Structures are given as structure tokens and as C-alpha cells.
Structure 1
Amino acid sequence: MNKPAPIVAELGRPETPEETAARKAASSRAYQSSQNVRSLIAALIVTLAVLVVIVFAVPRGEPASAPHIDVAAIAADVESTMDRPVVVPDLDDGFWRVNAAELTSGNPVVWDVTIAPSGEDERGFIKLSQAFDADSSWAPQRLNGVAATDTITIAGREWDVYRTGDKGDEQNITYAIGTQAGPDYVLLRGSRSAESTGDVAEDLSAQLESLSEER
């Protein structure tokens, strides 16, 4: 004898086969949904755990400092190669550091030194270029065709002034000055102020006078 189907309280009667199937399907969906939520939470926990391991496993410390460039040693090599003196920025006060120093081949050959402030609160750079056996007609080659528009006297020496304007934007050059020193033309250009560039020019005065005597 078949056992009568139980009466469902919500219905007040036994379930029909269709209602039983629908109830079981809804229960299955609810179970699957809960499993998906649990899986998602578990995945997030694992991800966070891996992140924590990475954060604490990576060595801490100060960023690697820029390599030291021995500009005096490089300048000595260039002087030996060119058989003539080269101009070297004054770094004695510790304000400036050298970012690059090299001899650039071409016509003319150029001794290039890039300096930047060593302090974290200072920005900008100045590039010193000593073009061997050249004059002011060479400078526009390094300044996108900009020619001198004025002159300024620094420590008794006359310097050509180049106002680069929009043409200097690509190289981040906002100001440049140049002077003839014996057989060579020395150009200072960069993103520092006219005053800062003038200070560098003044520091170079003795070396430039020495070069002038070579002519």
C-alpha cells in the first residue's frame, strides 16, 4: 500500500509532482549560488594572502642612487685625445652633480657635460658644450636654429644670449648663453633660470680665460 504524500503546510495539501520538481530545482540553484559566493570569498582571501606575502617579501630600502660619474677623469682622457684643455664645471660646493660627460663626434667635435642640482627640492639641468675650433655660427645647430638675440656680460666676459622660445620645448631648453673662448665656442643651455646659468658661467671664468690665451 502506497504511503500518502505529506501535506505541505504552506499549501494545505500534498505537492504535485511539478511543484516538487520546482522546489528541488530552486533549492539546487540556491545551493549552487551559495557555493559560488563561498568560492569567490575564498579566492579573494587567497589573493590578499599572496599580496601580503609579496609586500612583505620585497626588500625595502632607498632607491638605487645614480652611478657616480668621474668627470675629472673623463675630462683628462678627452684632453689627451684632443691634445688641448677642456672646460669642466665647478662641483666643489656640492650643489651640482654630473649626469653625463662625453666627447661627441661630428663637425665640430664637442665636449658635452650635463649637470643638475643634487638637492631633492631643485629641478632642471644645464648642459655645457665646448665645440672645438668653432664660433657662434655653430650654436644654432644645438638650439633648433635659434640665433643669438642679445649679449650679457658675466665676470667681465661677453656672452651671447639665446632665447629659445617654442623651439626649445622639444629639448626642454628655456635659456642659453654662449661665448668664444680661444679657438672654441662654449655654450650653456638648459632648463635652469638665467640667474642660475649665469652663476655657472661665472664659475667657469678662469678656465675660459685660460682657453682664450690659447688663441
Structure 2
Amino acid sequence: MSTEQHPSSQDTISTDDSSEPVVPLITQKQAQRIHAPARNMIISMAVMILILIPILWLTPALTSNKNHYNPQVDLDSIAYLSSQEAGYPVAAPEIDGWRYNFARWKSRQADGINFWNTGQLTAQAGYIELVQAQNTNPTWIAQRVNNAPVQRTQEVAGVLWDVRIYTPKDGEPTISYVGTVSGTTVILNGQSSEDEIIQLAHAVIAYEKNPTKTVEPTPSSGIQ
């Protein structure tokens, strides 16, 4: 004997698709709290942009390249003061048609090796950096030439220079001349013709034999 069972009200499943989704109701204060983080983020970004604009505008060095010419380099004063700090006449030769775009004494180095550092724009639109220091070591030199290996040696004005060439994946190669001049290590890093690097090597050797920027620059000395 079969008995027919009818689903109870609890077992009934509604399939009415016409029912509308329930929309949660929130107060005005709750809505303000939800939108506050996004609004605060937009305000913060606007403030940061307003701060960065004058900084970028007033700091052209951030966008200039190493070939930017700085006419304000006071080579005489900087070389004199650096020589006093170094304890030896730093190499500061001047070549006709060349221009210094920076000159500085780098002190308080972590490795204890302070050094003289300059950059020059050559007559042929090349660029050569000079680094000079005392009491150097092979590790320090390797760091200054991007660990480029020695390719050959070259004699210039009685000084034997190690010639190294660093070729990056993107960009032009850098030729480095490393030599000992007047008891100091001199490194010439050039993105220039090798002839101009040799020209600067000659000028450095000649200058160190007769350094001219050893008198304090004053009106009475004639050095301005």
C-alpha cells in the first residue's frame, strides 16, 4: 500500500526569479566612511605632485646627462682646496677647447681611500673622467673601471698605463687608462677617442711636474 507524501512548507524550494535583490541600507555617515579612504588617497597624491613639481623644476641635474656643461666650476679654488686636503697637488690641467663640467674632492669614503675627481668635455664632444688617489689597491682600481680587464699597456710620456675597455650591453664602450703619476694612481675613464685620452694623459703628467694651482686663489695672487 503506497502512501503519497506531500512536501511540507519547510521543504518547499522557491524558484521565483522575479524576486528583487535585497539592497542594504546605510546611513549617510557610513557612506562618508566608505568614500573617505579613496578621497584621502586622491588628496595625498595631489599634494605629492605639488611638492615634486618645484623640486624637479629647480633641479636640472636630475634630468641632465654627464655631458652637461657647468660654467660655474671654479677650478682654481677647488683644486687648491682639494690639494690641501689630499696632501699632494691634484691633477688639474687645462687643455685648449676642453671644458670642465665638475671638479670635487671625495672624502670620508667607506674604504678610507679619498680621491680627486673631475670630468671634462673634450674638443671632439667626448667625455673623460679623471680619478686620482694615493694608497690604492687592485680592488679599488677594479671598482673604478667596472672590473674591466687589462687589454694592453701603453707608454705615455715615460709612464706605463694599463689600458682597460668596458663594453656595456647598451651604450658605448669606456676606455680606461690606469697609471702611476707622481706617486698617485691616476685613472682616465673616457667615452672619447683614445687619442684624446692620451692627450689628457700627457697633460696630467706635465701638470704634475709643474702644478700651478697650489697658491690660494685671492685677488692679490692674480687668480680669480
Same fold (TM over 0.5): yes
Question: Which letter does structure 1 place at the counterpart of 2:92?
Answer: V
Question: Match for 1:70 among 46, 60, 74?
Answer: 74
SS in 2 for 1:152: strand
Bigger drift between 140-149 and 196-205 goes to 140-149
Aligned residue number for residue 119 of structure 2: 114
Residue 209 of structure 1 deviates from its aligned partner by 4.9
Aligned residue number for residue 161 of structure 1: 163
Question: Match for 2:126 among 121, 124, 127?
Answer: 124
Identity %: 27
User: Structure 1 residues 133 and 182, CA, compared in 2 at 3 Å: closer, same or farther?
Assistant: farther
| C-alpha contact 1:98 1:116 (8 A) present in aligned 2 | yes
**Aligned-partner Cα distance in 1 for 2:173–2:103:** 18
Q: Where is the helix percentage greater, Structure 1 or Structure 2?
A: 1
Question: Match for 1:102 among 89, 101, 104?
Answer: 104
SS in 2 for 1:133: coil
**Aligned-partner Cα distance in 1 for 2:70–2:104:** 17
| C-alpha contact 1:136 1:178 (8 A) present in aligned 2 | no
| C-alpha contact 1:135 1:180 (8 A) present in aligned 2 | no
Question: Match for 1:81 among 68, 85, 88?
Answer: 85
Matches within 5 A, 1:119-158: 122-158=124-160
Residue-by-residue CA offset, 1:7-32 (whole Å, 9 max, x unaligned): xxxxxxxxxxxxxxxxxxxxxxxxxx
Runs of at least 5 residues in structure 1 that lack an aligned partner in the other structure? 1-64
Question: Which letter does structure 1 place at the counterpart of 2:82?
Answer: V
SS in 2 for 1:114: strand
Instruction: Tell which has more relative contact order, 1 or 2 (C-alpha 8 A, sep 6+).
Output: 2
User: How many residue pairs were aligned?
Assistant: 140
Q: Tell me the TM-score normalized by structure 2.
A: 0.56
**Aligned-partner Cα distance in 2 for 1:174–1:162:** 8
Question: Which letter does structure 2 place at the counterpart of 1:190?
Answer: G
User: Structure 1 residues 197 and 143, CA, compared in 2 at 3 Å: closer, same or farther?
Assistant: same
**Aligned-partner Cα distance in 1 for 2:206–2:152:** 23
Residue-by-residue CA offset, 1:67-104 (whole Å, 9 max, x unaligned): 3312121010011122321111223x2x1110000111
Q: Tell me the TM-score normalized by structure 1.
A: 0.58
Runs of at least 5 residues in structure 2 that lack an aligned partner in the other structure? 1-68, 212-224
